């Protein structure tokens, strides 16, 4: 429609990197100045992750937060992280940590973050009123050719964009934590999102090495959380009915299903577990249906049972050990990502 063409007409402008936004130190000019500009709103963990992903592909990054101290702290952490990843040999992209960091700067002026940006990624805390406010403010300063992406894991795009002028530029791009090591991004358009915004965002995600899935319409929980919640509900019942311990429930996933699911989806798994999916459904439809009829109503994860699960988990991983366990997790995910990449290149 006409919206699509207006977005397309000046999409070429988006690739322009204006001199006033260029960092002084541009070691690898050709690679570095061609990609364009990305604005990031919110300087926390997810904002920093997006910054690193885009900088690895030569995009210029402007990080906005209401408080300049927060922004500067965030830049310090980014500098440390990039150099740490470089030392570990897991830095993305073909440029070094100094070159990637030189593409990043911070601001407490919103229009500096959004001006001439190809995409602006909102990464503020999960609070609907706050997100509405942020999108209203962005709406006042943004041009017609900038994609407005939200990192939300909870809210549908129509919930925070219905009131703004540039609502056809809004899309959810929900990453999975930690995004630097887990490539999935869920793309969720509102009913008024321009189709070109959807395809361009998907191309961008692929370009920076993420693995996007596009939902054709809004659905609460998107895809990942709907699947995750279905699993959590059944795990809850297995524990509350005294069938399995907390540790054994986790083991079913980490030593069983999860090993398959790291490489194949549930539908592909079924396809391989018989002579194709048709054969699988003929063989197992009845028994599967019978088992599913014994599933219990949806639980609410609270009360005594929640306390009990928390206690058991804290016995094996005390709260004080969570930071080091997260590092261990990230290290495992890094190695898994490298293995998957290696397997892919060998099978090609």
Residue 99 parent element (H or E): helix 97-101
pTM of the model: 0.87
Q: Shortest CA distance to 43 belongs to which of 90, 132, 89, 108? A: 108
291 C-beta neighbours (distance < 10 Å), count: 10
Query: Residue 35's pLDDT is what?
Result: 87
Query: Residue 28's pLDDT is what?
Result: 39
Q: Under CATH, which number does the domain 224-316 receive?
A: 1.10.1040.10
Structure tokens at 325: 């366990």
Query: Residue 116's pLDDT is what?
Result: 96
Query: Residue 7's pLDDT is what?
Result: 58
Query: Is the Cβ–Cβ distance between 89 and 102 less than 8 Å?
Result: no
Query: Residue 34's pLDDT is what?
Result: 56
- Helix ranges, 56-90 (H): 68-88
Q: Return residue ranges of the chain for CATH 1.10.1040.10.
A: 224-316
Query: Is the Cβ–Cβ distance between 218 and 152 less than 8 Å?
Result: no
Q: Which CATH number fits domain 2-214: 1.10.10.10, 1.10.260.40, 3.40.50.720, 3.20.20.80?
A: 3.40.50.720
Query: Residue 65's pLDDT is what?
Result: 97
Residue 173's DSSP bridge partners are 187
Query: Residue 154's pLDDT is what?
Result: 93
Query: Residue 67's pLDDT is what?
Result: 94
**Tens-of-pLDDT digits for all 348 residues of the chain?**
444 445 544 443 333 333 333 333 333 333 445 589 999 999 999 999 999 999 999 999 999 999 999 999 999 999 999 999 999 999 999 999 999 999 999 999 999 999 999 999 999 999 999 999 999 999 999 999 999 999 999 999 999 999 999 999 999 999 999 999 999 999 999 999 999 999 999 999 999 999 999 999 999 999 999 999 999 999 999 999 999 999 999 999 999 999 999 999 999 999 999 999 999 999 999 999 999 999 999 999 999 999 999 999 999 999 999 999 999 999 999 999 889 989 999 998
Structure tokens at 259: 């090993």
Q: End-to-end CA distance of the chain: give it in Å, rounded.
A: 39
Helices 68-88 and 45-55 meet at what angle, rounded to 10? 60
Q: Return residue ranges of the chain for CATH 3.40.50.720.
A: 2-214
């Amino acid at each position: 429609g006409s919206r699509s063409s207006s977005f397309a007409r000046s999409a070429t402008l988006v690739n322009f990197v204006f001199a006033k936004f260029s960092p002084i130190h541009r070691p690898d000019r050709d690679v570095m100045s061609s990609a364009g500009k990305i604005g990031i709103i919110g300087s926390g963990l997810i904002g920093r992750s997006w910054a690193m992903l885009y900088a690895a592909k030569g995009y210029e990054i402007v990080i906005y937060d209401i408080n300049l101290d927060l922004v500067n702290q965030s830049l310090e952490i980014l500098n440390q992280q990039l150099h740490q990843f470089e030392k570990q040999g897991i830095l993305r992209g073909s440029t070094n940590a100094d070159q990637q960091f030189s593409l990043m700067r911070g601001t407490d002026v919103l229009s500096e973050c959004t001006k001439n940006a190809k995409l602006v990624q909102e990464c503020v805390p999960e609070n609907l009123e706050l997100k509405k406010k942020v999108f209203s403010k962005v709406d006042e300063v943004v041009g017609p050719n900038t994609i407005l992406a939200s990192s939300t894991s909870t809210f549908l795009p129509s919930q925070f964009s219905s009131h703004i002028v540039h609502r056809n530029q809004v899309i959810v791009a929900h990453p999975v934590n930690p995004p630097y090591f887990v490539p999935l991004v869920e793309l969720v358009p509102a009913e008024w999102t321009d189709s070109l915004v959807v395809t361009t965002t998907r191309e961008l995600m692929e370009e920076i090495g993420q693995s996007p899935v596009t939902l054709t319409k809004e659905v609460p929980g998107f895809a990942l959380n709907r699947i995750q919640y279905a699993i959590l509900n059944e795990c809850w019942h297995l524990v509350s009915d005294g069938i399995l311990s907390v540790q054994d429930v986790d083991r079913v996933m980490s030593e069983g299903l999860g090993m398959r699911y790291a490489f194949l989806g549930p539908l592909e798994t079924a396809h391989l577990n018989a002579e194709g999916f048709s054969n699988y459904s003929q063989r197992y439809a009845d028994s599967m249906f019978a088992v599913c009829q014994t599933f219990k109503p949806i639980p609410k994860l609270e009360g005594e049972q929640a306390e009990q699960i928390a206690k058991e988990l804290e016995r094996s991983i005390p709260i004080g050990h969570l930071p080091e366990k997260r590092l261990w997790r990230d290290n495992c995910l890094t190695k898994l990502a490298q293995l998957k990449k290696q397997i892919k290149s060998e099978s090609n």
